[in-house]
Amino acid sequence: MADLKQVILIRSDLGMSKGKIAAQAAHASVEAVFNSNKKLVDKWHRSGMKKIALKISSKEELLKYLSMAEDMDLSISKITDAGHTEVEPGTLTCGAIGPGPEGQIDKVTGELKPL
């Protein structure tokens, strides 16, 4: 089986603090794990849970990449913030793709830069 990884796509246009980014990224990662096939998650867990945070510059861009991933049957998460603190209620802050085969995920997000 191919190497597995997860990518976390985080909007850089919202000016979120480091702490906000950390919590939202964790939220996206865990939610995508819940949305994934359990056997795939177990294998990914045993192999070290490779994950990387990537930079997204708008809501539209984030939705585009998540939709591409869904079209490839990759598991995803979309995180909307309750907006108690730094952003407006209902703001889409980030999302995650996978865990899934590295090659498939790279077809979707291979051009994105690390956050």
Binding residues vs its own copies (CB under 8 A): 6, 8, 10, 17-23, 25-31, 33-34, 45, 48-49, 51-55, 82, 96, 114-115
**Strand ranges inside the chain, DSSP E:** 4-11, 51-56, 76-81, 91-101
Q: What angle do CA 79, 82, 87 make, to 5 degrees?
A: 90
Element (H, E) at 70: helix 59-71
Q: Give least dist CB 5 to its own copies, A.
A: 11
Which CB, 1 or 82, lies closer to its own copies?
82
Q: Give least dist CB 9 to its own copies, A.
A: 10
Q: Give least dist CB 25 to its own copies, A.
A: 4
Which CB, 57 or 71, lies closer to its own copies?
57
Q: Give least dist CB 24 to its own copies, A.
A: 8
- Tell me the β-bridge partners of 91: 81
Cis peptide before 89 (omega within 30 of 0): no
CA atoms of 96 and 88, how far apart (whole Å): 21
Which CB, 35 or 71, lies closer to its own copies?
35
